[in-house]
Amino acid sequence: MPPSSDTSLHTGDTAEIDVVLPAHLHARPAGRLARAAAQLACGVQISHEGRTVDATGILAVMGLGATAGTTVTVRAHGDGAHDAVAEICRLLRTID
């Protein structure tokens, strides 16, 4: 499993971490990601190659075109942002 990068930012109620994807963000993992993000109390965004989308949108996440071996950035804003980013990154590191 590829490691995440060391790039992270945690300030107040905002958190950001870069993750190297072990697999493509196709329909099944995008759905898992969107369902997990929808359960969180704060807003979560995923960025890839200059595009940023709301992590709760399955089609938006798939539309990023993020493939195995590429890096995505996970950002969260609001209460529990640090925990939200950690949870989404854990999910992304284990997608298949």
pLDDT grade for 12, boundaries at 50, 70 and 90: low
pLDDT grade for 11, boundaries at 50, 70 and 90: low
What average pLDDT does the chain have?
A: 89
Tell me the per-residue pLDDT of 18-28, one tens digit each, with 9 for 90 and over.
Answer: 999 999 999 99
Please provide residue 69's backbone torsions phi and psi, each rounded to the nearest 5 degrees. 90, -10
Instruction: Please state the rounded mean pLDDT for residues 73-84.
Output: 94
Q: What is the pLDDT of residue 9?
A: 54
Q: At residue 17, what is the residue type?
A: I
Q: What is the pLDDT of residue 14?
A: 86
Q: What is the pLDDT of residue 90?
A: 95
CA distance 88 to 85: 5
**What residue ranges do the domains of the chain occupy?**
8-93
Taking phi first (over 0 means left), then psi (-120 to 50 degrees means alpha), and beta for anything else, what does residue 64 get? alpha
Q: Any idea which fold 8-93 has?
A: Histidine-containing Protein; Chain: A; (3.30.1340)
